[in-house]
Structure 1
Amino acid sequence: MATRTFTRAALVGAGALALLGPLTATAASAASDAGRDDARVLAAPYAVVPYENVNVRQGPDSSTAKVGSVAAGQPRGAYCWTRGETVSDHGITNDVWVQLVEGYVSAVYLKGNEYGDLPASATC
């Protein structure tokens, strides 16, 4: 009898979750930009922060299409880093590009070490 009670409770719980699914999706779609930014950071194993506004590119090269931008101080989720076009700015020269959820940014514009504060082992 305890097994039936447990099964019934599990089914009732699953039904409640099924009902909450659409509400959660609606609430998520109505979230503010800050909420979406938090989700982008949480969606990846690392977080990076640009120290100035930076363009996000389709690939690790400034000649690839611009797919967006990130505002200075705005954290973004990052997956890994790779070598790409060498970028020089503000007295820093580096060929490391960090793959974000949206695309790639040069590590020259990210706070932290030469890899945008990702571990050296986090290669793409």
Structure 2
Amino acid sequence: MPTRTLARAALVGAGALALLGPLTAATAVAAGDADHGGARIMAAPYAVVPYETVNIRSGPGRSYDKVGSAPANEPRGAYCWVRGERITDHGYTNDVWVKLVEGYVSAVYLKGNEYGDLPASATC
């Protein structure tokens, strides 16, 4: 196959993937709890795991509306982290909140490092 044809095929493939990105994210948001997080994980670049059932909020603090919950040990898709309200629980204090597909969760309740196992560079 000539190089020009390969380059064209790669561009078409990349365009198709770009179109699928928003569809995947929309599908993930619409997915119910019966989905067990599978679509939610695929829609985001990272996965986080709460060690106990935790509230998901519309923003990075307890004063924001509760928009759902994440059961213990169920992976969730995550995009980035941001500093928000300082939370202290189980002997840990942290002001890092991780942005999930559904909303925000305090990193205090996530397995891993201080960023819920996201890279330190994954800021929102």
CA deviation map 1:31-67 (0-9, x unaligned):
8845351000110000000000000000001010000
2:58 is equivalent to residue 94 of structure 1: no
Deviations 1:66-123 (A, max 9, x none): 0000000000000000000000000000000000000000000000000000000000
1-side partners of 2:54 and 2:111: how far apart?
A: 12
1:15 maps to what in 2? none
Q: How does 1:67-78 map to 2 (within 5 A)?
A: 67-78=67-78
- Number of corresponding residues: 95
**Unaligned ranges ≥5, structure 2:** 1-26
**Letter of the 1:86 counterpart:** R
> Structure 1 length normalisation: TM-score?
0.73
In 2, the alpha carbon distance for the partners of 1:58 and 1:112 equals: 23
Identical-residue share of aligned pairs (%): 74
Q: Distance in 2 between matches of 1:36 and 1:78?
A: 15
Q: CA RMSD in A?
A: 1.7
The within-5 A match list for 1:1-124 is 33-35=33-35, 37-124=37-124
The CA distance in 1 between the partners of 2:32 and 2:66, in whole Å, is 23
Q: Secondary structure at the match of 1:119?
A: coil
Change (3 A) 1:32 1:61: closer
Q: TM-score, normalised by structure 2?
A: 0.73
- Unaligned runs of at least 5 residues, structure 1: 1-27
Please give the secondary structure, in 2, of the residue aligned with 1:68: strand
Q: Distance in 2 between matches of 1:50 and 1:70?
A: 7
Distance 2:33 2:106 in 1: 23
Distance 2:108 2:32 in 1: 29
